[in-house]
Amino acid sequence: EAELLHTFKGIPFTTRSSPELLKSLDTFDAREDDVLLVSYPKSGTHWLAGVLAKLYNTQVTITSPIEFGDISRLEELNKLSSKRIIPTHLDYNMLPPNFKKKKCKMIYISRNPKDTAVSMFHYYRDNPNLPTVDTWTAFFDLFLKGNVVCGSWFDHFLSWEKHEDENNILFLFYEDMKKDLPKVVKDISLFLSLNVSDSDIQDICRKSSFLEMKNDTEKENNDPSHTVCALTSNKKLIFRKGAVGDWKNYFTPKQNIRFQEIFNEKMKLSKMADNFIYEC
Ligand code: A3P
C-alpha cells in the first residue's frame, strides 16, 4: 500500500514513474516542434488530448507522458519519427530544461481546484495505482496538504503561472472548454498555427463531447503502453461525470470555508485566481 507512491524532489509519484527515469529527465532531448500538454491530474488532460489529436491533419503522435515508465522511455521517445505531442504532469521546475531552452509550445490546462479535488478523490478510489482513501473527509485533508500524487495543486499551478507572460505557453481552463469549446479550439488552433475551418471546429467539438469520448473509450482496447496520464493506462477510469461544480455535492460548508481561506492565502499573488472563482 505505502509502496504505491514514492517521493522525488519532494513530490509524490506512483511506481509507474521510476526514480531512475525522474533522475534522468534533465538530459531529455527536446525538439523545437514538440508540443507539451501540461496539467495537474484530473484537470481535463484526456479531453484536451482528444481535441489535439483531431486538430492536426499531419502525422502527429501523442506520446505517453515524459515521466511515465523506466529509463528506456527516453530512448523510445527519441526514436519517434513523427511530430510529438508530449503530455506531462510535471511541475514547471522539474520540466526538462531543453523544452525551455528550445521554447517549445506548451499548453497548460487547469480546472477549479475544488472540482479537481473531487475528481481526484474518485480517481484514488478507482485507480489501483493509487493508495486507498477511506473517506472524502480524509482525502480533503490530504489534498489541501498537497499530500497526494503530483503534490500540491497550488504549487503546481503557481509554478506554471509564473511563466504566464512567455508566449510559448497557452493557459486553458476546463470551465472555458465546458462553456464554449469552439472558442477554445479556435484559440488552440491559432496558438499552434494550424489552419482549421469553422466547420472542422464544429466537427472536432462534436466528437470531443463527454459522451462521444466515453463511448469511444468503451469500444477501444486497453493498450497498457499507451497512456496520456502517467497514473493509468485504463482510460475507462477517466470519464466519470465531466461536470462543473460537482464539488458542491461533496464539500461541507465548513470544508468550503477552509478551502477558500487556503485558496485566498496561496493565490493572493496569482493573476489568474479569478478564473477559478465562480458560483462559490
Ligand atoms: P470528473 O472526474 O469530474 O468527471 P484528466 O483527463 O486530467 O484525468 O481529467 C479527468 C476529468 O476530465 C474527469 O472529471 C473527466 O470526466 C473529465 N473529462 C474527460 N473528458 C471530458 C469531456 N469530453 N468533457 C468534459 N469533461 C471531460
pLDDT of 224: 76
Task: Output the nine-digit C-alpha cell for 191.
Answer: 496558438
Residues 83 and 30: their CA atoms lie apart, in Å, by 11
Distance 102 CA to ligand 1 centre (A): 31
- Residue 246, judged by CB atoms within 10 A of its CB (0-12, 13-18, 19+), counts as middle
As annotated, the active-site residues are 89
Whole-complex ipTM = 0.99
Residues 176 and 278: their CA atoms lie apart, in Å, by 12
Residues 205 and 83: their CA atoms lie apart, in Å, by 23
Place of cell 486507498: 132
The DSSP-derived string for 238-253 is T-S---S-GGGGT--H
Nearest CA to ligand 1 atom 10: 42
Q: Is 88 in the pocket of ligand 1 (CB under 6 A)?
A: no
Neighbouring residues of 21: CB distance < 8 A, sequence distance ≥ 6: 67, 68, 69, 70, 71, 73, 74
Q: Is 38 in the pocket of ligand 1 (CB under 6 A)?
A: no
Point out the ligand 1 atom lying closest to the alpha carbon of residue 43.
7
Q: Is the pLDDT of residue 170 over 60?
A: yes
Q: Mean pLDDT across the chain, nearest whole number?
A: 95
pLDDT above 90 as % of the chain: 90
- Phi-psi label, residue 212: left if phi above 0, alpha if psi -120 to 50, beta otherwise: alpha
Task: Output the nine-digit C-alpha cell for 137.
Answer: 473527509
Res. 73 pLDDT band, cuts 50 70 90: confident
Point out the ligand 1 atom lying closest to the alpha carbon of residue 49.
6
Q: Is the pLDDT of residue 90 over 60?
A: yes
Question: Residue 203 — φ and ψ, nearest 5°?
Answer: -65, -45
pLDDT of 279: 56
Q: Is the pLDDT of residue 280 over 50?
A: no
Q: Is the pLDDT of residue 205 over 90?
A: yes
Residues 153-180, mean pLDDT to the nearest whole number: 98
Residues 259 and 144: their CA atoms lie apart, in Å, by 7
Q: Is 45 in the pocket of ligand 1 (CB under 6 A)?
A: yes
Tell me, what DSSP letter sits at residue 176?
H
3-state class (DSSP) for residue 234? coil
Q: Are residues 54 and 206 in contact, defined by beta-carbon separation less than 8 angstroms?
A: no
Give tens-digit pLDDT for 191-204: 999 999 999 999 99
Q: Is 208 in the pocket of ligand 1 (CB under 6 A)?
A: yes
Q: Is 210 in the pocket of ligand 1 (CB under 6 A)?
A: yes
Give tens-digit pLDDT for 92-106: 999 999 999 999 999
Mutate to test the pocket of ligand 1, among 177, 185, 208, 210 (most ligand atoms within 8 A of CB): 210
Q: Is 100 in the pocket of ligand 1 (CB under 6 A)?
A: no
Nearest CA to ligand 1 atom 27: 242
- The 10 Å Cβ neighbour count of residue 111 is 26
Sign of the Cα torsion 214, 220, 224, 226 reads negative
Q: Are residues 189 and 196 in contact, defined by beta-carbon separation less than 8 angstroms?
A: yes
Mutate to test the pocket of ligand 1, among 136, 238, 251 (most ligand atoms within 8 A of CB): 238
